[in-house]
Structure 1
Amino acid sequence: ISTLKPVRSYASRLVNGINQILTQLLTYNDLWKNDKQKYTSRFALKSRTYFDYDEIMKVFFKINQTFDRYLINKNIYSIELCFKQFYQALKYHCNEWINHYGQHLYNKISNKLKEIDDILNNLYQNLNHDTDTVPDLKFVLNIITQINQQQELIGHQIHDIIQSYQILNQYHFEYPYTESILIQTLFPRLIELVEQSHIVQHRLKPIRERFREIIQYDIELFQRMIDELVDKFDKYGPYTIDNDLNQMFLLIKQYEKEIDKIEQRKIELINIMKLFYIPLINYPKLIRIQKEINGLNILFNLYDEFKKNKKLWSNILWTELNINDLINNVDLFIKNFRRLSQDIRTPVVGHTVEKYLTGN
């Protein structure tokens, strides 16, 4: 028995030594996962920056480096263990994790590279658009404004693209050489685009002044259109008709169409005036007519609803007619009319509608 004690002690130390090594290697158990795509895709689903990808890829890169420092052969109490293939397998899986994360970063950033490339191309092309007409000039001036507003954002996006590709290079991720060439052109193209926009803006100054004169004429013409409409409305509009509600409201719809056209033209003029920094103009006469038309439409809706109900009531048989319900319904329409503001109720159309509702 005494002779077995050294053997048992040796065996115990041997087992403990092997267990220590295995315990240490078990900390890398997750490296062996087969569903790497699933885990990396879940990571990529969230809004990740290039810094996030760098941090996660750095973890596996450092683990990979640790295996280079491990001894391939380990001697444990005269028993030599060979870990070469085992370490190679672990390094392979580390690289697999890095490649999966790198692929997600590449997919994201290569799309962004194409997007920025298209944006720069389109802005440059649109900046050189013809300026022979007001719409064309407006288009180019909007492009200049767009360049001034977006240059800082585009600059940040280019910086992110460059940093992302540098991370891919750091972890030896392969991608088309054409993309590396394209990346180098982004900042110079952005600088050239901004400089060109300043040149075009300066060149367009005399053209803008010429168009300003044309627009001033259009503004005066628009004011005359409003004056003519208001004059016609006051002389021949619905307020000039007596006791013919159908004719009144037919006329209202005609004026409403004319006002819609004028309003559309006003919006176009306002957009152009803003473009040329011309002070905006109020049109009190137009506002007054629009307000009156809105009031007349309220009266028309009340009149039209009462007219429809009156037709329904007239078709009810006397035996089925409830006089109290009829009186209550009529009173409800009259109350709704009297709740309207005074400036809607008091003009001639309002009085005519009231007479129609009350049966006077």
Structure 2
Amino acid sequence: WYKYQHLWAFDKSLSCEKYIQTHEQIHKYDEKFFFFEDIIAELDHHVKYVDVGAIRVNLRTIIRQVQDHAQEWKNTLGNCIASKTRINMYDLKNQIESLRMTMNMNIKGLEDFKLVMATITQVQAMTITAEVKYRGMQETFHMLRQHGINVSDEDIQFAKGLESSWGSLYQTSLFRGNTLEQTKEKFSKLNVVEIANFLKELDNFVEKFDLEGPATVGDDMDRGLQLMEEYAKYFDELETRKRMLQTAEQLFDNPLADFSNFNRAKSDFLAMDQIYKIYKAQKNARELWARTLWVNLNPQALVDGIEQFFKEYRKLPKVVRLTNAGLMLDMKMKQFKSVVPLMVSLKNEAMRERHWKELMAKTNQDFDMSPDRFTLENMFAMELHKYQDVAEEIVNHAIK
């Protein structure tokens, strides 16, 4: 009982579904079937009764029940494997039909031609993969029948039919490829022209990026953040087009175009993107801190918070940290951190309203000093890092 209790301790359907999701090798399925068959065979040779004193205990019923559980496991596992294999067969069948339809489409222009040629290349490249798939399906059904699992003749024929369907598709790709050779030369020239025009477009884009992009904003990182979001869309779109044209180059055996200028710009953009992600995160944190009332100032929370962003910044490659954006972020975070002790000084009880009025006049700020309205946002707006000497002088006068 204890030896075989695992047979009824788990949900058979869920366990089998999980097993076939994590294991796809046929020999794994084979081993599992043999495991259950060995249990059944072992119990066939088990003693059928046990004498306990004057009482004979008949074990046939419990032996049969344990064997039934083992057989249920076999059947459930077999049905799950068969169901998964059928789904894979239909997926391969649909893929074959889709590839055949695309390969035989009527070509009306360069884009159609590139699609057909790409499909021909795809079919020829995945021939071995397809063979592994349909032969695996055939072997799976053969294995299931060997273990006594019911598999219909239709499934067997379906799996065999996939072999001939793929063979036919492959032959079609060879024939279609040969018939398009002359057309290929014509479209190859069109592709060269298209790439030349695209390279000019890229040069104009890179020039604009260098002259007006986020690297030109100086200390206005908010403007830089806005430009990063705008240029991200452009880079993604141009990168997609570049990859499509590079694929076409391979299809037509054209000389590889030089995208080094664009690649350099994209490399610069990706470096700045790492910087601006940290800048955006610390900007959001500062906006959250800004809601804190001045009376509730917790300087250590501000120091700890900005230090976390310094840690992220220091993890970046040195070449990224030394970019203009990287150095600017470092400076801004250091400015913020340096102002925290000054804010602590301004919390001194000696600070009166006249002192605050003087500080506001010096920093060109004006705000309500009511305890329920005076927030850190007002302090941040003063940009005290620019007026550190002035603020310290006012605090010293207040204390005296």
- TM normalised by structure 2 equals 0.50
CA distance in 2, matches of 1:34, 1:153: 39
Of 196-205 and 39-48, deviating more is: 39-48
Matched, 1:320 2:360: yes
CA distance in 2, matches of 1:223, 1:32: 66
Question: Where do 5+ consecutive residues of structure 1 fail to align?
Answer: 1-25, 239-252, 291-297, 303-316, 331-360
Could you report, residue by residue, the CA deviation over 1:297-342 in whole angstroms, capped at 9, with x for unpaired residues?
x99xx9xxxxxxxxxxxxxx9862437x989749xxxxxxxxxxxx
2:8 is matched with which residue? 33
CA contact (8 A) 1:36 1:97 kept: no
CA distance in 1, matches of 2:16, 2:240: 56
State which of 163, 170, 179 in structure 1 corresponds to 2:146: 170
CA distance in 1, matches of 2:4, 2:241: 72
Of 171-180 and 185-194, deviating more is: 171-180
CA contact (8 A) 1:31 1:90 kept: no
Q: Kindly tell me: are residues 271 and 32 of structure 1, through their superposed partners in 2, closer, same or farther at Cα, counting changes over 3 Å?
A: closer
2:102 is matched with which residue? 126
1:107 is matched with which residue? 83
CA contact (8 A) 1:36 1:100 kept: no
Could you report, residue by residue, the CA deviation over 1:38-77 in whole angstroms, capped at 9, with x for unpaired residues?
554554453342211211211222333455567879999x
TM-aligned CA deviation for residue 201 of structure 1? 1.0
TM-aligned CA deviation for residue 122 of structure 1? 1.6
Matched, 1:95 2:71: yes
Q: Kindly tell me: are residues 289 and 166 of structure 1, through their superposed partners in 2, closer, same or farther at Cα, counting changes over 3 Å?
A: closer
The number of residue pairs the alignment matches comes to: 263
CA contact (8 A) 1:219 1:269 kept: yes
CA distance in 2, matches of 1:81, 1:329: 95
Could you report, residue by residue, the CA deviation over 1:166-208 in whole angstroms, capped at 9, with x for unpaired residues?
1211122224443222111122222222222111111111011
CA distance in 1, matches of 2:46, 2:34: 19
Q: Which amino acid aligns with 1:118?
A: N
Q: Kindly tell me: are residues 122 and 105 of structure 1, through their superposed partners in 2, closer, same or farther at Cα, counting changes over 3 Å?
A: same
1:353 is matched with which residue? none
- TM normalised by structure 1 equals 0.55
Which secondary structure does the structure 2 equivalent of 1:52 belong to?
helix
Residues 40-119 of structure 1 aligned to structure 2 (within 5 Å) = 40-41=16-17, 43-44=19-20, 46-66=22-42, 85=61, 87-119=63-95
Question: Where do 5+ consecutive residues of structure 2 fail to align?
Answer: 213-226, 267-323, 329-356, 364-381, 388-400
1:157 is matched with which residue? 133
CA distance in 2, matches of 1:151, 1:214: 30
Q: Which amino acid aligns with 2:5?
A: D
Matched, 1:192 2:232: no
CA contact (8 A) 2:37 2:70 kept: yes
CA distance in 2, matches of 1:165, 1:101: 13
CA distance in 2, matches of 1:64, 1:289: 68
**Coordinate RMSD, CA, aligned:** 5.1
CA contact (8 A) 2:145 2:151 kept: no
2:337 is matched with which residue? none
CA contact (8 A) 2:138 2:156 kept: no
Q: Which has the greater radius of gyration?
A: 1
CA distance in 1, matches of 2:181, 2:87: 38
Which secondary structure does the structure 2 equivalent of 1:33 belong to?
helix
TM-aligned CA deviation for residue 139 of structure 1? 0.6
CA distance in 2, matches of 1:191, 1:185: 10
CA distance in 2, matches of 1:58, 1:67: 14
CA contact (8 A) 1:127 1:144 kept: yes
TM-aligned CA deviation for residue 226 of structure 1? 8.9
Q: Kindly tell me: are residues 271 and 318 of structure 1, through their superposed partners in 2, closer, same or farther at Cα, counting changes over 3 Å?
A: farther
